[in-house]
C-alpha cells in the first residue's frame, strides 16, 4: 500500500543546525538532496499485492523529477530505496516531495504521503569584530584589551536574528583554533559569549563565524587582538 510508504531526507542531507531536531526538520543546504524511501514491499513471485518489477518515481511539486544520475526515476522497488534528486534551487517556499509506484503494465498507484523540504543556500553575513566585555577586561583601562581573565566574554554583533550559532576562533600566529561554539538563543541582533575553556597567557586574535539554521557558514569576521597576562610583576 503506497500510503504506508515513508519518504524522508537521509541524515546526511538534512544539514540543519537548529538543535536536537535538526536531523528531522527537513531544512537543508544540499541542492541534490537524498531521500530514503521505506516501508516498500518488493513482493515475491505469485504475490498479488506487490508484483515483482514495480518501480518508484519521485515527484517535486507535482512534477516527475529527474534524479542525479540523469534518469527520470523508475527505480525498481526494494525493501529500502535511496534516491538522489537532481539540482533544486534555493528558495523561500518549501518543495513538496512524494513518490508513486508503477507496475509492469503501466498502472500507477496513488501518491505517498508528501513531505515538505526547504533548500537554503544563502550564506549569512560575517559577524562583527568581537568586543571584549568590560567585566572581563581587567587592566587599568576596561577598554585596552589587556586582561588577566582566562575565560573572557565577548560582545558580537551579527546583524540578524536568523543565525543559530556563533563560533569564536583565536589565532596566536598559526592556524585558527576553535575557542567555542554557542547557540544564539535570544533571537537578538547580537550576543554575549563567554569562553568555556581557560586560556593561558598569550596575545590572541579573536574572530567569529556565523552558522545559520540550514548549516551555511559565513565568512570570518574581523579579528580583535587581546592580551591575556597572568604573570605577576
What is the percent of the chain where pLDDT is above 90?
A: 46
Task: Count CB neighbours of 62 within 10 A.
Answer: 9
Any idea what DSSP says for residue 35? E
- Do residues 164 and 183 touch, judged by C-beta distance below 8 A? yes
Give the pLDDT confidence score for residue 42 in this predicted structure.
56
Q: For residue 98, what is its C-alpha cell? A: 512524494
Tens of pLDDT, residue by residue over 191-215, are: 889 999 999 999 999 999 999 888 8
First CA to last CA distance, the chain: 79
Strand, helix or coil for residue 177? strand
Closest CA to 224 of 159, 164, 174, 154: 154
CA distances from 223 to 107, 161, 207, 231 (A): 63, 22, 4, 25
Calpha distance 170→51 (Å, rounded): 61
Calpha distance 180→191 (Å, rounded): 14
Q: By mean pLDDT, which of 35-49, 86-100, 110-124 is the weakest? A: 35-49
* Bigger pLDDT: 143 vs 160: 143
Region 167-188: what's the mean pLDDT? 87
Q: Is the pTM of this model over 0.85?
A: no
Calpha distance 124→163 (Å, rounded): 7
Calpha distance 172→223 (Å, rounded): 12
Q: For residue 176, what is its C-alpha cell? A: 585558527
Q: What does DSSP say about strands 27-28 and 115-119: parallel, antiparallel, or unpaired?
A: parallel
- Do residues 117 and 7 touch, judged by C-beta distance below 8 A? no
Architecture per CATH, domain 2-119, reads as: Sandwich (2.60)
The ranges assigned to domains in the chain are 2-119, 131-228
- Do residues 218 and 123 touch, judged by C-beta distance below 8 A? yes
Task: Give the homologous superfamily in CATH for domain 131-228.
Answer: Immunoglobulins (2.60.40.10)
Paired residues of 119 in beta bridges = 28
- Do residues 68 and 74 touch, judged by C-beta distance below 8 A? no
Closest CA to 5 of 144, 117, 112, 165: 112
48: Cβ contacts below 8 Å, ≥ 6 apart? none
Amino acid at each position: 500500500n503506497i500510503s504506508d510508504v515513508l519518504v524522508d531526507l537521509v541524515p546526511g542531507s538534512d544539514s540543519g543546525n537548529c538543535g536536537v531536531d535538526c536531523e528531522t526538520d527537513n531544512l537543508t543546504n544540499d541542492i541534490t538532496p537524498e531521500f530514503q524511501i521505506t516501508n516498500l514491499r518488493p513482493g515475491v513471485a505469485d504475490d498479488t499485492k506487490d508484483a515483482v518489477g514495480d518501480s518508484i518515481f519521485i515527484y517535486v511539486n507535482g512534477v516527475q523529477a529527474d534524479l542525479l544520475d540523469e534518469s527520470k526515476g523508475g527505480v525498481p522497488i526494494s525493501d529500502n530505496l535511496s534516491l538522489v534528486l537532481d539540482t533544486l534551487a534555493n528558495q523561500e517556499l518549501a518543495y513538496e516531495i512524494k513518490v508513486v509506484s508503477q507496475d509492469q503494465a503501466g498502472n500507477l498507484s496513488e501518491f505517498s504521503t508528501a513531505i515538505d523540504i526547504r533548500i537554503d543556500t544563502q550564506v549569512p553575513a560575517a559577524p562583527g569584530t568581537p568586543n571584549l566585555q568590560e567585566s572581563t577586561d581587567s587592566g587599568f583601562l576596561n577598554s585596552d584589551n589587556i586582561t588577566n581573565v582566562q575565560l573572557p566574554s565577548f560582545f558580537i554583533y551579527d546583524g540578524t536574528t536568523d543565525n543559530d550559532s556563533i563560533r569564536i576562533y583565536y589565532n596566536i600566529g598559526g592556524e585558527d583554533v576553535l575557542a567555542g561554539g554557542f547557540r544564539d538563543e535570544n533571537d537578538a541582533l547580537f550576543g554575549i559569549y563567554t569562553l568555556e575553556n581557560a586560556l593561558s597567557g598569550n596575545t590572541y586574535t579573536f574572530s567569529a563565524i556565523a552558522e545559520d539554521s540550514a548549516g551555511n557558514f559565513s565568512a570570518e569576521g574581523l579579528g580583535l587582538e587581546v592580551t591575556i597576562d597572568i604573570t605577576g610583576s
